[in-house]
Amino acid sequence: MADSDCTLCPELLVRLAGVAGGLRALAALIDKELTEETTMSRRELLDVAAVRVSNLADQAQGGY
């Protein structure tokens, strides 16, 4: 991305970076639960993932 591209505001970039970090953390959690001795059932994992994705969507929209 060129430095002269002013179509993305700094606040949006910060929100997107936060969402990207949250998605990476969620992916790591899912991977760990699926490949190692799990600490939660798949149902619990789906519930946790749903809450985290919902929170990340709120964050992307400026809710946090």
pLDDT tens digits, 8-64? 788 888 888 999 999 999 999 999 999 987 789 999 999 999 999 999 999 888 876
pTM of the shown model = 0.77
**Residue 4 in domain:** no
Q: Distance (Å, rounded) from C-alpha 3 to C-alpha 40? A: 45
**Does the residue 19 lie in any domain?**
yes
In a domain, 18, yes or no: yes
User: Is 1 within the bounds of a domain?
Assistant: no
Domain-located, residue 27: yes
Q: Is there a contact between 30 and 49 (Cβ–Cβ < 8 Å)?
A: yes
Q: How many domains does the chain have?
A: 1
Nearest Cα to 25, choosing from 2, 55, 58, 1? Answer: 55
In a domain, 3, yes or no: no
Look up the domain containing 46 and give its range.
11-60
